[in-house]
Amino acid sequence: MSIPRVVVAAPSSNAGKTSVATGLVAALSARGLAVSPHKVGPDYIDPGYTGLAAGRPGRNLDPVLQGEQRVVPLFLHGARGADVAVVEGVMGLFDGATSPDVEPGFASTAHVARLLRAPVVLVVDASAQAQSVAALVHGFATFDPRVRLGGVVLNRVGSDRHEEILREALGAAGVPVLGAVRRLAELGTPSRHLGLVPAAERSAEALATVARLGEVVAGGVDLDAVLRLTRTAPALDAVPWDPAAEVTPVEGRPRVAVAGGPAFTFGYAENAELLAAAGAEVVTVDPLRDEALPPGTAGLVVGGGFPEVYAEALSANAALRADVAALAARGGPVAAECAGLLYLSRELDGHPMCGVLDVATAMSPRLTLGYRAAVAVADSVLAPAGTRVRGHEFHRTHARPGAGATPAWQWAQAGPEGFATGSVHASYLHLHWAGSPALPERFVAACAAAVPEEVRRAHR
């Protein structure tokens, strides 16, 4: 299967690859092309911006969370119907997972580019460079001959003369300069304790930023040259990932509510697709605005986000908090990750939450970040005991206690973690269910079993 594609990478973090990738997606979309946006790694926030620019979900490609063998099928699934795909990298081009059980560079941007057989465009922060840029680019072009560096975009260029010096220096490096972008302070995207503010929270402001990024990239980058580069990517010998082939659907079509809205913006599109493929009717609930779960809700999924930013407003919605607690009390399955754990807790920074878990949660000065290899401690609505998964932590909060009498997971870095009590599974661990499709299948089956008989009869 063939799809024109390019990977946007950088020598390091904070070089501007998110701005350039988002601008590239926006500029190509403005030309009338259907652009499929992707992101290397577990990041939830950057795909929100490229997805906003493309008008379709930004999808993650992560060999750790999904399994190396699924990266290409998941890419082809996300790129269905697209004219071109833009894959934003993570960290520096060759920076991968640091887990001791994987080889250096595993899950790096270079690793994913090799799997996709895609050319790479290197975004270089040229703000403090002149002739030295040639040595930098030469090093990245020759470090790994399996990675094809197809061009460079110079970012944060100071002036016409600065650009001229940079282009002259790169003339002998053998890598085409595809464009140059000036230093533009007004394009800075607001950040907070976990990185960029999600696009879904900024609404009109985010749309304006994305549109302006598209204009800047269209004005400074040779889009025709980029498109020619994307077309050099060879066909991929793989079948697109299909959620229906991963799970067995249950009968009864139980209704599963998934938390959304500004406070819960972290979620992988494939997770909801797997829930639907497993037989669920997937509906959305916004804990900031909705005062009750959707009628007939059999189970609830609360993923990640920033409830700490919205703690007062979430607490003020006492009606929904009570409804969530009632669902859990009557045995309705609840799966919560990170922000979901905070929402189910007794309190968050002193604000009353749902009280499903007798846990106090609060902001912490310490960032907890990294991949985790975890094992399920006991049977739960999400996984049977002994299930092994690979997940990811990303938070600046803590829970006291950090684990219940029956923990959700066990891993080497933290010991027992999370809560698996009754019909509730809550943990700081983020999971990409495409890597463990048995989890959503088990959860939907638990939801179907929890539907009252009178409700089942009404749907027959």
Task: Give the CA distances from residue 283 to residues 259, 275, 358, in Å, rounded to whole numbers and listed in that order.
Answer: 9, 11, 27
Token digits for 309? 């930013």
> What SS3 class is residue 23?
helix
Token digits for 9? 């990478």
Enclosing H/E stretch for 345? none
Q: Are 262 and 334 in contact (CB under 8 A)?
A: no
Q: What is the DSSP string of 380-411?
A: -SS--TT-EEEEEEEEEEEEESSB-SS-SEEE
Other C-beta atoms lying within 10 Å of the C-beta of residue 202: 20
Q: Are 16 and 125 in contact (CB under 8 A)?
A: yes
Token digits for 18? 């998110």
Cα separation of 20 and 398, whole Å? 34
Rg, C-alpha atoms of the chain? 23
Cα separation of 67 and 421, whole Å? 29
Catalytic residue among 229, 285, 288, 338: 338
Cα separation of 147 and 139, whole Å? 12
Q: Are 24 and 106 in contact (CB under 8 A)?
A: no
Token digits for 456? 């089942």
Q: Which of 335, 333, 337 is nearest to 447 (CA)?
A: 333
What region, left, alpha or beta, does residue 72 occupy, with left being phi > 0 and alpha being psi -120 to 50 degrees?
alpha
How many residues are there in the chain?
Answer: 460
DSSP state of 304: B
Q: Which of 274, 272, 261 is nearest to 301 (CA)?
A: 272
Token digits for 303? 């993923």
Task: Give the CA distances from residue 378 to residues 194, 330, 372, 373, 427, in Å, rounded to whole numbers and listed in that order.
Answer: 31, 21, 18, 16, 14
Q: Given CA atoms 236, 237, 240, 246 in this order, what sign does their dihedral have?
A: negative
338 is catalytic: yes
Q: Which residues pair with 370 in a beta bridge?
A: 393
In the chain, the amino acid numbered 317 is N
Tokens 């970040």 belong to 369
By annotation, the residues acting in catalysis are 338
